[in-house]
A = this chain, B = another copy of it.
Amino acid sequence: MKASQTFVKTFKDISKDEAARSAQFLLRAGYIHKEMAGVYTYLPLGLKVIENIKNIIREELNAIGCQEISMTALQNPEPWQKSGRWDNQDVDIWFKTELSVGGEIGLAPTHEEPLTNMMKKYISSYKDLPVYVYQFQTKFRNELRAKSGILRGREFLMKDLYSFSADDETHMQFYHQVENAYHKIFERVNIGESTYQTFASGGIFSKYSHEFQTVLPIGEDTIYYNQDKSVVLNEEVLNDEVLDELGVKKAELKSTKAAEVANIFTLKYKYSEPLDLNFINQDGEREYVTMGCYGIGVSRLMGVIAEKFADDKGLIWPESIAPFSYYLIAIGNEADKIANDIHDKHPNLFYFDDSKNRPGEKFADADLVGLPYRAVISDKTLAGNKIEITNRLTGKTDLLTIDEFVAKL
């Protein structure tokens, strides 16, 4: 893409109502636009990052047999009343509205109830199990405090996966498959090393759930870990009983701030029982379906990655999710012609800054926008028929002949 083909501009001023550095950079670089607190529009570059993250998640989930669907924002109260999550006294983050024909409806903060309800149509025998269904869906949560840009929004994008199994054993097999898939996903978006699977509070049917927490100074959570990080746990389960069970001592643990990017949860009968999702097992007996749910905050993940890698000049995207690989700058007429050629052959790899800005401004924008590499062609590099490639993360610069460079694209 060329700068001249997009309406988006960069801004020098730092928005004062965003505390998170990543939110400031995402706004200044034109990835997102703030509609109101906790509600953001995704501009062309931001939408590309979101789609790249979605595709990585999609690949890993399809590989373990998950099927993609797309549910609705508008919610019929009935299944939520059955599970006890409709009343504002029980769930305090609902947005509710009224049908003009009468009747209160809600905006989905999550989708356990409608999916469990729908599955009554499709699951009746052990032969129908297991079922693994996911979606990328906008969630609506009426948070008292939306903060840190896209890290905690009132309207945000989530990948939510639900499993329906006949028994605990097949449930746990899949649970471990999701753990592996999540580790792969976080590896692929470059936060594998700083993202830990933590013990978190469970529910009626499971002692623990697990969260994936990425170490981040501005994270909302505090996690505790032992020396080799073989045991990592959330603050809410930091008690003597749990420490005993996990075989660690409180004194051995260190703590750090972190942001939750995903969670996995054994629901068992939590929704299948009140919503009466059952099946006939191999012995001809009726049983409730064993469920699990597995979320990844897609827009939050984008925010966490932005925050994690940013330096004081701007964003630094991992190559796997960057909107383009190269921020291309040409200095001089001859350089401009060559840059145009390179761009036109690979418009999806290059963001060509063909603006009238001065070179210094283009270098600053390259740092701000944070593509993995800056590619510069100038009269100076052309003297050796070369192009200068600078790694945004390491700052390392290579001079390659243009032929070499183009050949390896």
- In the complex, A44 has a CB within 8 A of chain B: yes
- In the complex, A400 has a CB within 8 A of chain B: no
- In the complex, A89 has a CB within 8 A of chain B: no
Task: Say how far A241's CB is from chain B's closest CB, in angstroms.
Answer: 35
- In the complex, A68 has a CB within 8 A of chain B: yes
Segment touching B, from A17-25, A31-39, A167-175, A191-199: A31-39
Using an 8 Å CB-CB cutoff, how does the interface string of A148-184 with B read, 1 for contact, 0 for none?
A: 0000001100000000100000000000000000000
Question: In the complex, are the beta carbons of A72 and B39 less than 8 A apart?
Answer: yes
- In the complex, A361 has a CB within 8 A of chain B: no
Using an 8 Å CB-CB cutoff, how does the interface string of A134-146 with B read, 1 for contact, 0 for none?
A: 0000101011100
CB contacts (< 8 Å) of A164 on chain B: these are 7
- In the complex, A364 has a CB within 8 A of chain B: no
Task: Say how far A370's CB is from chain B's closest CB, in angstroms.
Answer: 19
Question: In the complex, are the beta carbons of B35 and A5 less than 8 A apart?
Answer: no
Question: In the complex, are the beta carbons of A101 and B144 less than 8 A apart?
Answer: yes
Question: In the complex, are the beta carbons of A7 and B41 less than 8 A apart?
Answer: no
**A5-B67, A123-B7 known; A114 and B73 CB under 8 Å?**
no
Question: In the complex, are the beta carbons of A107 and B100 less than 8 A apart?
Answer: no
CB contacts (< 8 Å) of A6 on chain B: these are 67
CB contacts (< 8 Å) of A140 on chain B: these are 73-74
Q: Closest B residue to A105 by CB, please name it.
A: B36
- In the complex, A96 has a CB within 8 A of chain B: yes
- In the complex, A9 has a CB within 8 A of chain B: yes
**A7-B131, A74-B155, A99-B142 known; A33 and B118 CB under 8 Å?**
yes
CB contacts (< 8 Å) of A142 on chain B: these are 99-100
Give chain A's interface secondary structure class.
Answer: mixed
Question: In the complex, are the beta carbons of A70 and B97 less than 8 A apart?
Answer: no
Question: In the complex, are the beta carbons of A39 and B74 less than 8 A apart?
Answer: yes
Question: In the complex, are the beta carbons of A7 and B43 less than 8 A apart?
Answer: no
Question: In the complex, are the beta carbons of B73 and A41 less than 8 A apart?
Answer: no
Question: In the complex, are the beta carbons of A71 and B41 less than 8 A apart?
Answer: yes
| A281-316 CB contacts (< 8 Å) to partner B | none
**A97-B95, A97-B107, A107-B97 known; A155 and B73 CB under 8 Å?**
yes
- In the complex, A187 has a CB within 8 A of chain B: no
Task: Say how far A323's CB is from chain B's closest CB, in angstroms.
Answer: 12
Using an 8 Å CB-CB cutoff, how does the interface string of A92-120 with B read, 1 for contact, 0 for none?
A: 11011111110001010000001000110
Assembly stoichiometry (copies): 2
Distance A40 CA – B73 CA, assembled complex (angstroms): 10
**A44-B68, A118-B41, A143-B100 known; A154 and B74 CB under 8 Å?**
yes
- In the complex, A133 has a CB within 8 A of chain B: yes
- In the complex, A47 has a CB within 8 A of chain B: yes
Q: Closest B residue to A41 by CB, please name it.
A: B71
Q: Closest B residue to A141 by CB, please name it.
A: B100
Distance A261 CA – B36 CA, assembled complex (angstroms): 32
A41, A72, A140 — most chain B CB neighbours (10 Å): A72
- In the complex, A121 has a CB within 8 A of chain B: yes
Q: Closest B residue to A9 by CB, please name it.
A: B122
Q: Closest B residue to A70 by CB, please name it.
A: B42
Partner of A33 from B95, B96, B97, B121 at Cβ < 8 Å: B121
Question: In the complex, are the beta carbons of B74 and A47 less than 8 A apart?
Answer: no
**A118-B41, A119-B7, A122-B9 known; A35 and B71 CB under 8 Å?**
yes
Q: Closest B residue to A1 by CB, please name it.
A: B67
CB contacts (< 8 Å) of A118 on chain B: these are 33, 41
Distance A39 CA – B103 CA, assembled complex (angstroms): 15
Task: Say how far A297's CB is from chain B's closest CB, in angstroms.
Answer: 16
Using an 8 Å CB-CB cutoff, how does the interface string of A37-58 with B read, 1 for contact, 0 for none?
A: 0011111100100100000000
Can you pick out 13 interface pairs between chain A and chain B where the beta carbons lie within 8 Å of each other?
A5-B65, A9-B122, A36-B105, A41-B70, A41-B71, A42-B69, A43-B69, A74-B140, A74-B155, A97-B97, A97-B107, A99-B154, A101-B144
